[in-house]
Structure 1
């Protein structure tokens, strides 16, 4: 069935994205969008660096995929997890090219924030076909500035316990899926680190002896751990979470509440909103959308409506 508004779509596929147990999801997405009447060009490369460079050329109006062409795409569709969201956001934020998601990853936290099906690729593909008949919605993006330059982030930046879990999980080859994150989480709990931070919130510095520091635009990390229960993707503000220094036993007691997003009334938890946040601490690495940003210090600024997305519901 033809769409009312055929679009020129660039589809970027994570080679490890799967549909069901054995079926690759990329061809399913391309087939569904083509049948809907869109002009679809798929890009899949063996490495993230090669994929990023090919996308950069195509989004700039260069050769689209392997079929050639010079027209600027009407949207970038990313197929994969939060890593693909990070890749897509870095390429299209502030360009006016919309981003569309088919979440197939372990966490899919930005998809959760947008109200997209995050655990059912078939439903996500069907919904995407419908969404492309409408208009994209503007949401905020985070601009992170650190030792490795400027990086666009869609969902959130972590620089505490959650970042350490990401660092460990990314070093692990087994198991795959959510279990790897859960094991990394358990191992980091065993060696819980306390960090002395300097956090500057809208120009006001504060010394923080903390366990967890997270700045975000989305509510959750790690596949639904609701660190920032009040975060909204289009309110023009960052949500900041600071968990004070805790013993391992106290943190273990608090963590179930953090996971469920019911920790806001705990006196050891501080939540606030800001336009810019700078985080400094020795020996700590920051992560954005689950991807390594580099060592602290890092400055995070919210850029209102910097990203256009195809989302099913009003985001406010």
Structure 2
């Protein structure tokens, strides 16, 4: 019987990480065939995913942050294969904030993250498909707009390397006093809303930007996207917005935000609107976002709260 093969697609920024090298070596010593491919330039993720599918590997491991996870998941989704014919997906969290891993409970310690693969059964997971002005992208975790997008895009790389997730908080605090509302029209099945907003979350997962829980009730396998629209707030509320979001105050969002669970949503804006897809900005006047149920199968902790029926 041929042993299942795992293939790690490792973000080039983490290729020199000693903990990753040690975890890969230990996993191989346990008898698991684990192959590594390191990304160097744009397009490598897709090429490596296509090669892994053609080679019939059992598991594709995205080694990097939320952006790497989405890029690998996007390549799998756009391969043309049904979820059942694709390798399972796993995550080795190596990003700055690792929002998807934190929310789902995937260990950020490399050896523990690899051990999860052998100890778990891959579960069907939805993906978000975003189309805007003729361009298509896929997202595994969260698409954000307004405040969350500005914080993610404007946090310097050097600060992220030095301070990790704290860098997002520092940038967020600095921007709170200068938030400029954006205006858009939102529509979905049985849902209509139009007006100004300062923060927007369209979630498969629950948090982004270093712990901003914009979609605290999102599930990975319910066939729905979680939509949260935060309109402009009074000065007192604005002063505490960053802290409340970073602490996941779902009650605060329920009070001040417009929330919905939808299979799809369309967004129209007279001015160009930027959405951040797990670190990848996408700009358009019109977006169509669909939740594609069970598009991949992913190794997740048994106790994760982001699957239906899990505690």
TM-score by length of 2: 0.85
2:51 maps to 58
CA distance in 2, matches of 1:24, 1:198: 48
| Secondary structure of 1:127's aligned partner | helix
Q: 2:55 aligned with 1:91, yes or no?
A: no
Contact (CA 8 Å) 2:184, 2:196: kept in 1 or not? yes
CA distance in 2, matches of 1:204, 1:173: 38
Counting only pairs closer than 5 Å after superposition, residues 91-240 of structure 1 correspond to structure 2 as: 91-93=75-77, 94-95=82-83, 96-118=86-108, 120-128=109-117, 130-131=118-119, 134-147=120-133, 149-169=135-155, 172-175=156-159, 176=161, 177-202=164-189, 204-240=191-227
- In structure 2, which of residues 273, 290, 296 is the aligned counterpart of residue 307 of structure 1? 296
Q: Per the alignment, do residues 196 and 140 of structure 1 end up closer, same or farther by CA in structure 2, a change over 3 Å counting?
A: same
Contact (CA 8 Å) 2:148, 2:212: kept in 1 or not? no
- In structure 1, which of residues 272, 277, 281 is the aligned counterpart of residue 265 of structure 2? 277
Per-residue deviation, residues 58-115 of structure 1 (Å, max 9, x unmatched):
1342xxxxxxxxx222111111111211111112235422111111212212223332
Q: Per the alignment, do residues 121 and 30 of structure 1 end up closer, same or farther by CA in structure 2, a change over 3 Å counting?
A: closer
Give the number of the structure whose residues are more often helix, by fraction: 2
Displacement after TM superposition at 1:193 (Å): 1.0
Q: Per the alignment, do residues 114 and 254 of structure 1 end up closer, same or farther by CA in structure 2, a change over 3 Å counting?
A: closer
| Secondary structure of 1:297's aligned partner | strand
Contact (CA 8 Å) 1:219, 1:229: kept in 2 or not? yes
Per-residue deviation, residues 203-262 of structure 1 (Å, max 9, x unmatched):
643212211111101121123222211111111111111111224543223432232222
1:66 maps to none
TM-score by length of 1: 0.84
Contact (CA 8 Å) 2:126, 2:223: kept in 1 or not? yes
Contact (CA 8 Å) 1:143, 1:302: kept in 2 or not? yes
1:34 maps to 28
Q: Per the alignment, do residues 53 and 225 of structure 1 end up closer, same or farther by CA in structure 2, a change over 3 Å counting?
A: closer
CA distance in 2, matches of 1:274, 1:45: 35
97-106 vs 290-299, which moves further: 290-299
Q: Per the alignment, do residues 73 and 211 of structure 1 end up closer, same or farther by CA in structure 2, a change over 3 Å counting?
A: same
Q: Per the alignment, do residues 303 and 58 of structure 1 end up closer, same or farther by CA in structure 2, a change over 3 Å counting?
A: same
Q: Per the alignment, do residues 56 and 74 of structure 1 end up closer, same or farther by CA in structure 2, a change over 3 Å counting?
A: same
What count of residue pairs does the alignment treat as equivalent? Answer: 294
| Secondary structure of 2:243's aligned partner | helix
Contact (CA 8 Å) 1:136, 1:311: kept in 2 or not? yes
2:62 maps to 78
1:16 maps to 13
Contact (CA 8 Å) 2:49, 2:72: kept in 1 or not? no
Question: Which runs of 5 or more structure 2 residues have no equivalent in the other structure?
Answer: none
CA distance in 2, matches of 1:152, 1:166: 18
Displacement after TM superposition at 1:191 (Å): 1.5
Q: Per the alignment, do residues 235 and 50 of structure 1 end up closer, same or farther by CA in structure 2, a change over 3 Å counting?
A: closer
